[in-house]
Amino acid sequence: MDNDPIKVYRARWIVLAVFGAMAAMTQLLWLSFAPITGPAAAYYGKSDLMIGLLSMVFMIVYMFVAIPAAWAIDTWGFKAAAGLGGVLSAVFAILRGLFASNYTIVIAAQIGIAIGQPFVMGAITKVAVRWFPARERATASALGTLALYVGPLTAMLLSPYLFLRSGMKGMLLVYGLAMAVTTVVFLAVAREHPPTPAGSDERVLMFDGLKMMLRRRDFLFLLVIFFIGLGLFNSVSTWVEDIIRPRGFTISQAGLLGALTLAGGIAGAIVISLISDTVRRRKPFIVLALVGLLPGLFGMTYASTVWLLYLSGFAFGFFLLSAGPIAFQYGAEITHPAPEGTSNSLLILMGQISGIAFIFGMDALKDPSTGSMTRPLLLQAGLIAAGGHREAGM
């Protein structure tokens, strides 16, 4: 218990942990194929782009499900909405494993998992507001957002190992069963509210809040930042193996690069969010993230040695992904009393839209003879630099 007039409960950390575990699994299911793009293309007899589509469907589906999911989170509460998302993801993930050799069924199952994902992802700040006092909410949002990084990190490390050891079917079944277990634990343990409120939680109705958000200049520019930053993350995560393959790196090295990028993101999210909570500032740290990620992005684009590639990936993740939890909390703060689920979902929606464009764009702009993605990566670096400059000047 804190010395604060508002009573807080140790159970808040348990609720956050079981939510985080389920959220991590939804992200692992999203990027299951990213570090094994080449072998998966050979396994299914498809092109790299068709394997990329297995990840891309999550972004396409999110565009249609984000607003209904936000309404469910703000109307039903995070437990019911996220629980529904977890159940959908678990059912289709197991189905995906049972019919792992059939590409058509696998992509249909990916769509089913993708429908469940926004109900979980959009609930991060709702958990923070329901269970945590104001002084801890950016940290709680950061820890919840970390789950969105831990899942892809696990996929980057495990997918090459499980694919080589157990084959496609074994890998996908392991993931499906893990999703089912985490969902059951969440439903058994999580509670919507603490016994007494953790602070003010007065919010307007979702569509009233949506109109308020779209009138705020700071929030509109935050949408632009998410469009560029999350689009960059989604496209680089999807094409991680294709990015480094022309320079002679292996799928195991691609998996480790992706893992180190996400490990850097976890470190950055913890460190920078704690500093942000301490000084009660958000915007300067978003600018820092946009500027700081550029050297890492250039290193990932050009590195020809493993140590430089790995160091660049870690630095890229440290800055880019540290912006996520701070931006979520900043968005909730500047749009108050709009619902947190709505601001969360709208920000992620922008990144999903751009992710689709960036993924197709990277494939279209890569060198047709060598497969090099230097050109699209430099184009995205230019967008990040422009966004950081504009944000710093506001």
Using CA atoms, how far residue 254 sits from 105, 120, 278, 300, 317, in Å, is: 27, 28, 36, 11, 15
d(CA 166, CA 172): 10
pLDDT in the model for residue 390: 59
The residue among 206, 198, 177 whose CA lies nearest residue 81 is 206
Burial of 284 (0-12, 13-18, 19+ CB in 10 A): middle
The DSSP code for 105 is H
Concatenate the DSSP letters of all residues of 172-204 into one string.
HHHHHHHHHHHHHHHHHH--SS-SS--S-----
pLDDT in the model for residue 388: 60
pLDDT in the model for residue 363: 86
pLDDT in the model for residue 360: 85
pLDDT in the model for residue 321: 81
Using CA atoms, how far residue 160 sits from 84, 168, 240, 252, in Å, is: 30, 10, 13, 6
pLDDT in the model for residue 2: 44
Query: Under CATH, what is the fold of the domain 11-393?
Result: Growth Hormone; Chain: A; (1.20.1250)
Q: pLDDT (tens digit, 9 = 90+) per residue, 24-62?
A: 999 999 989 988 888 999 999 999 889 989 988 998 898
Which residue numbers in the chain have pLDDT < 70? Answer: 1-6, 138, 197-213, 336-342, 344, 387-394
Using CA atoms, how far residue 256 sits from 16, 57, 164, 244, 262, in Å, is: 27, 24, 15, 12, 10
pLDDT in the model for residue 156: 84
d(CA 92, CA 283): 39
Instruction: Find out whether 314 and 261 touch, Cβ atoms under 8 Å.
Output: yes
pLDDT in the model for residue 159: 92
pLDDT in the model for residue 329: 72
pLDDT in the model for residue 140: 79
